[in-house]
Amino acid sequence: MSASAERGRRPVELRRLGTADAGPYRAFRLAALRETPTAFTSSHAEEAGKPLSATLRRLAEAEAGDGPGALIGAFDGTGALVGTAGLKVPPRGQERHKSTLYGMAVARSAAGRGIGRALVDEVLHTAAQDGRLRQVLLTVSEGNEPALRLYTACGFEVWGREPRAVLVDGRAVAKLHMVRLLDAEPTAEARRR
């Protein structure tokens, strides 16, 4: 899979990440965790303390995953990794109809170029290619309005709120649980955005 998203003046290439991307992916992930700690369940300190072999394992699983699971990277015209989004599918048969969008991040230097939308669209496209998947789930931190607008525009709907889902430096952050049904058309409101 390789897709291209053109926004502004510079093209962005979307492709699945593999073990060869371990260094740039780890650096990108650590930067995202440091810059926006309330957006993620993992902390910068936890991830920074893990060896590179942990990143290699994560990428190997995504690379050789059974089914539509993937970790997608967005690369700018210089070849720099500027965004990521993953799709994870549970291994249990009775949960095999759903998947989770995770690890969504776009570098601040690349914000406003439509990269987030391109990544979410690519995850949804990847999920839709597997006839067994019927929905994609995600969580978004309450108060992260740009992400909430993006997900809503992509057809996700809030179905629940988890108070105090994570504690970041002692501060409680709620998470909104969202779902996008793959066998349903986005609402008219979502299509307008």
The DSSP annotation for 113-153 comes to: SSHHHHHHHHHHHHHHTSTT--EEEEEEETT-HHHHHHHHH
Q: What is the dihedral of CA 171, 172, 173, 175, to 10 degrees?
A: 160
pLDDT score of 67:
59
Q: Judge whether 104 and 138 are in contact, CB under 8 Å.
A: yes
Digit-by-digit pLDDT tens for the chain (193 residues) are 445 454 444 579 999 999 999 999 999 999 999 999 999 999 999 999 999 999 998 898 887 765 567 999 999 989 999 999 999 998 888 999 999 999 999 999 999 999 999 999 999 999 998 888 999 999 999 999 999 999 999 999 999 999 999 999 999 999 999 999 998 655 544 444 4
Give CA 91 to chain center in angstroms: 19
Interior/surface letters 92-130, b for 16+ CB within 10 angstroms, e for the rest: eeeeeebbbbbbbbbbeebeebbbbbbbbbbbbebbeeb
pLDDT score of 7:
42
pLDDT score of 91:
85
Give the whole-angstrom CA distance, residue 39 versus residue 157: 18
pLDDT score of 190:
47
Q: Judge whether 19 and 60 are in contact, CB under 8 Å.
A: yes
Tokens for 95? 């949960």
pLDDT score of 6:
47
Domain ranges of the chain: 2-192
Neighbours of 19 (CB within 10 A): 15
Tokens for 94? 């009775």
Give the whole-angstrom CA distance, residue 108 versus residue 58: 24
Q: Judge whether 76 and 10 are in contact, CB under 8 Å.
A: yes
Q: Is 6 exposed, middle or buried (0-12, 13-18, 19+ CB in 10 A)?
A: exposed
Neighbours of 65 (CB within 10 A): 15
Q: Which CATH architecture has domain 2-192?
A: 3-Layer(aba) Sandwich (3.40)
